[in-house]
Each structure stands twice: as C-alpha cells, then as structure tokens.
C-alpha cells in the first residue's frame, strides 16, 4: 500500500471495487426513505432497519406526508424491530417537525440547500449526529460530503493509516482533503467500506481473507 494519502485512498477503493463491484448504495427508493434509514440504522444492524422500513411501507406510512402527522408514540410501534425505538421515533418526529415548521413542509427545498448549510441544519436537529447528517447529505441530497462510520474508522485505524484517537471531523478531512468532490465516487466508496467492515472487520473478528489483504493482531 502507498504511503501517499491520495494514492492510498485510490488503491483501497480500486481493490474493494475490483472485489465487490458496484454496490449501488443507498438501498432506498426515495430521499425520505434514505433519511428514515439513516436515523434507524444508528448503532443497529441493517437487517433490523429493513424490517422496520418494510413495516412502514406495508402500512402505507413510508412518506413524509403520512409520517409527519404522527406523534413519536404513534411512530414507535412501526419501527420496533430497529431497536432504540422510543428514541428513534422521537428523532423522526423531531425531523418532520423541523421540515414542517422551518421549511413549510418543503423537504425538497430543505435538501436543495447549499451543502454546508444543509449539513449544519441537519446537525442542529436533536438526534442527528455527523454520520447521520453526512449520510443524508450524500445519499438523499446528492452532495459530496464523505460519510465516516465505525467501519471506516476501524479499517483505517487498524491498518495504522490514521491514529486511533482521530475524531469524526478529522477522519472526514483525511478523506476529503485527498479526494476530489465526486458524489457517485463518495457513495460507492462508503458502501464498499461498510461492506468490507461487515464481512471482514467486525469488532472481534480477524480479517485474513479481507480483500485489502491485511492481517490484524486483534
């Protein structure tokens, strides 16, 4: 692997893309579905999120218009399988209320903001942290903010490519400071890192067969 950051990132991407091929993230039909998924997947296995979204869909509740009329108490039963359902129901309610009161229900206008303004707006909403915000910016608003998640951190820190004490913003800068802003590329890169982490870089799992060809001591 290269010691030059720009070349290293390209090399990692190319190896993963060659191994997995295009993953076509985010798995969602609409921007609002991306937003729901981004909130529901917080510290939760995607399988449980997919069940929750399927549940909303089968009840005809998978739209901003239908969901923004419900209270957290009414939302919670639909998303039970995603875990932390009381907190997440409140987060969804808070998000919908924000769009309703600050944007007159104009979800499209909200997402059409300048990238920095949108990210700041999202982060000001209770329940939306940096990863959720960046996921929404990239996959729902199609603006080039690189998404950092636990697998991104784990893969890069275990290789010694970044320090273990690196912060979210610093790790995001590590990527964005060495890559041209490119929405399809950012989408695919994050998807590849999550897939790699899911298969080869879990909390307590060795990675001898990882496509990056690494050998972890832990």
Which residues are at the interface with DNA (CB under 7 A)? 25-27, 37-38, 41-48, 51, 80-81, 83-88, 125-133, 135, 139, 149-151, 165, 168, 194, 197-198, 202-204
* Shortest spacing between CB 199 and DNA, in angstroms: 9
How near is the Cβ of 106 to DNA at its closest, in Å?
22
Looking at the Cβ atoms of 43 and 208, the one nearer to DNA is 43
Q: How far is the CB of 15 from DNA (least distance, A)?
A: 20
Which of 180, 172, 171, 167 minimizes the C-alpha distance to 146? 172
| Residue 4 or 30 having the CB closest to DNA | 30
Helix, strand, coil percentages, rounded to 5, for the chain: 60, 0, 40
Q: Which residues, including other chains, have CB under 8 Å from residue 143's CB and lie 6 or more apart?
A: 115, 118, 137, 183
Distances (CA, A) of 165 to 145, 153, 170, 196: 22, 10, 10, 22
Between residues 1 and 123, which has the closer beta carbon with respect to DNA? 123
Cβ closer to DNA: 12 or 138?
138
CB of 83 to DNA, least distance (A): 3
Residues 2 and 177 sit within 8 Å (Cβ to Cβ): no
């Amino acid at each position: 692997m290269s010691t030059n950051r720009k070349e290293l990132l390209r090399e990692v991407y190319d190896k993963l893309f060659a191994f997995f091929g295009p993953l076509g993230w985010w798995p969602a039909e609409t921007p609002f579905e991306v937003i729901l998924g981004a909130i529901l997947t917080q510290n939760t296995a995607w399988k449980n999120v997919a069940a929750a979204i399927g549940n909303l869909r089968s009840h005809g509740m998978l739209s901003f218009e239908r969901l923004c009329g419900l209270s957290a108490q009414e939302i919670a039963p639909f998303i039970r399988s995603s875990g932390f359902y009381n907190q997440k129901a409140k987060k969804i309610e808070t998000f919908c209320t924000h769009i309703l009161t600050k944007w007159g229900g104009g979800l499209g206008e909200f997402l059409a903001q300048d990238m920095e303004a949108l990210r700041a707006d999202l982060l000001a909403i209770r329940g939306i942290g940096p990863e959720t915000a960046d996921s929404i910016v990239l996959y729902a608003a199609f603006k080039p903010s690189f998404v950092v998640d636990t697998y991104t951190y784990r893969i890069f820190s275990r290789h010694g490519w970044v320090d273990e004490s690196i912060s979210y913003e610093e790790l995001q800068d590590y990527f964005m400071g060495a890559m041209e802003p490119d929405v399809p590329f950012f989408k695919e890169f994050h998807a590849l890192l999550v897939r790699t982490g899911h298969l080869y870089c879990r909390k307590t799992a060795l990675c001898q067969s990882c496509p990056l060809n690494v050998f972890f001591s832990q």
